[in-house]
With several copies, the nearest count.
Chain A
Amino acid sequence: MRFRFTQTAIDTAEARGELLDLGAGGYVSFEGWVRDHNEGQDVIRLEYEAFQELAVKEGERIVAEALRRFPVRHALCIHRVGTLALSDMAVWVGVSSAHRGEAFDACRFIIDEVKHRVPIWKKEHYRSGDSGWVNCERCAAAPHHGHHHEPAVSPVHK
């Protein structure tokens, strides 16, 4: 399983161990951390929710695509679900490769695709007491700003 979920803190040392390979000279990892602000609001915690049956299939497809597109050795992605506090790790991607360039490319490909294709949602809770589901602008009907914008928030006032 090259894409999986966890309800508890991601064990990056264990995950990295799965990528060790005597033929690998480069290893790149990405961690997504819960930060204290988004779109001008003070964030105090997040909730992640996933449609896991489909998400693990789509996640596996993304990692398999990365392994086909880039000549890397191993790749793995772990996503956390549930309630996360500031600076908690929400997602981890690791790639080992003979050469470093491909490891960077594959790692970035995986996190970009996971963020856009895998059915996972996050609800931000703000210091103000409001909360909102974070939406990918690329997926929204309007306005269309292209692919590289930051997430926007659909406020769901309590």
Chain B
Amino acid sequence: MQLKIQYYAVMREQAGRSEESLETSAATPADLYGELIVRHGFTLTREQLKVAVNSEFSDWSRPLSAGDAVVFIPPVAGG
């Protein structure tokens, strides 16, 4: 299935892009991050991230559907 991944901050810099569309068989955000950490060489472990699906915080084990937009959220630092 096709997913849309958006990247912010350190993830954007390490991926070298703000977003990408990806054909994947990853069933969950956890599976997807396992694919992408190899592909882009991310330095943050899954334990250091949160994940959002379709602009809402999500479990790592939530089933993904075709067309979902996924964002991996590194430690925040607003303010």
Contacts and interface: CB of A to CB of B under 8 A. Distances in A.
A121 B8 contact: yes
A141 B79 contact: no
Chain A binding surface SS class:
mixed
Contact of A139 (B10, B57, B71, B75): B75
B74 A133 contact: yes
B74 A117 contact: no
Contacts of B75: 135-136, 139-140
B48 interface: yes
Interface residues of B, number: 21
Interface in B22-79: 45, 47-48, 52, 55-57, 71, 73-79
Contacts of A141: 45, 47-48
Given A54-B52, A54-B55, A135-B74, A121 B9 contact: yes
A53 B13 CA distance: 20
Contacts of A116: 76
A122 B78 CA distance: 7
Of the four ranges (under 10, 10 to 19, 20 to 34, 35 or more), the interface on chain A belongs to 20 to 34
B24 to A, nearest CB: 21
A136 B52 CA distance: 19
Contact of B55 (A53, A90, A118, A136): A53
Given A54-B55, A57-B56, A91-B79, A133 B73 contact: no
Interface string A106-121: 0000010011111111
Contact of A121 (B6, B10, B71): B10
Interface of B: 6, 8-10, 12-13, 45, 47-48, 52, 55-57, 71, 73-79
5 contacts: A48-B78, A133-B77, A135-B77, A140-B75, A141-B45
